[in-house]
Chain A
């Protein structure tokens, strides 16, 4: 509901920018304020590193600034932004593989675990193990299944928006997510989880 309101607000900004009611800078500023978190989360879902995700977020908005002349023609700014963010993150990820960059452990990843640990030590350890395992399993998935699954983990993204971001139809998104989940469940069952 809140998200719907946000999307409507975004559309209003863009239509305002198109008609000259508010300046281009104001439109971009409002886009940043409303969607930067989503962009960051998309980038993080692909890159799995906070610093890289932030860089990708910056790059996404720089591209938005570059394409700002097209802002008036954008129907759904959220999907448009998500598509740019996805492309930027995937490009960065490919570049990282190509350049053989091995990042150091992300220090920010461990911090919330310790800080918000209301569970026992065993449960925390188990959770961490499971998270690592899931990450490996998702990385091992074919790209065709991985992309919709990764985007579906983001609460902000509906199947329709995922479909628009990946340029596939909604039914394909649903079936691919289902298949990806099946594979993950099988692998987890084999490893004794659940």
Chain B
């Protein structure tokens, strides 16, 4: 008897729960949900398309700016190879520069700024007056000098004799010149 009652109550409980759960899940969307979703999707897609278009525009603009910047950098960045020589204290340009740096009222930043402002002028000056390490300048040998160097290398004794004779001749010329000058002085 008790078992029957408990079974019945179990069944009732089961059906009550089922009904309650069915009701729990029973939810219908408002009419036109599909249309609203599709309209929203179309809007999202259009916006996404616009965004992609804008991204392309920005990317193109950036690429253009980068290309221009690279071209300018390449153009301004070219230096004649002579500039790469280390500066020496004897060169007029470097003395000029040190003079600028040391002169009162002009700070090194100002000097630098001036250099940056007129790169072409600076380059032209540097190219016109090459900085030299050794004085006299190590210029390439002329044809005659080359022949002389070969001759000295081949016949060093002959060359020494010729050089001594030349030195003697120069000395004699020098003495004569002095004598003439001293004679003129005494005559006056």
Contact = CB atoms under 8 A, between A and B. Distances in A.
B174 interface: no
B16 to A, nearest CB: 5
Contacts of A58: 36-37, 40
B34 A131 contact: no
A168 interface: no
B173 interface: no
A74 interface: no
Interface string A122-154: 000001001100110010000000000110011
Given A127-B23, A131-B23, A134-B20, A65 B41 contact: yes
Given A36-B29, A57-B29, A185 B13 contact: yes
A32 B38 contact: yes
Interface stretch (A2-10, A15-23, A39-47): A39-47
A138 B37 contact: no
A53 to B, nearest CB: 7
Given A33-B34, A127-B23, A188 B13 contact: yes
B44 interface: yes
A50 interface: yes
A50 B16 contact: no
A137 B16 CA distance: 14
A193 B16 contact: yes
Interface in B11-63: 12-14, 16-17, 20-25, 27-30, 33-34, 36-38, 40-41, 44-45
A42 to B, nearest CB: 10
Contacts of B20: 130-131, 134
Interface residues of A, number: 37
B37 A50 contact: no
B134 to A, nearest CB: 72
Given A130-B20, A131-B20, A61 B37 contact: yes
Contact of B41 (A32, A40, A155, A184): A32
B95 interface: no
Contact of B27 (A53, A65, A127, A193): A53
A57 to B, nearest CB: 7
Given A37-B29, A153-B24, A185 B38 contact: no
A2 B20 CA distance: 25
25 contacts: A32-B37, A36-B34, A36-B37, A37-B28, A37-B29, A40-B29, A50-B27, A53-B29, A54-B30, A57-B33, A58-B37, A62-B41, A65-B41, A131-B24, A134-B17, A134-B23, A153-B21, A153-B22, A153-B24, A155-B25, A188-B16, A188-B17, A193-B16, A194-B9, A194-B12
Interface of B: 9-10, 12-14, 16-17, 20-25, 27-30, 33-34, 36-38, 40-41, 44-45
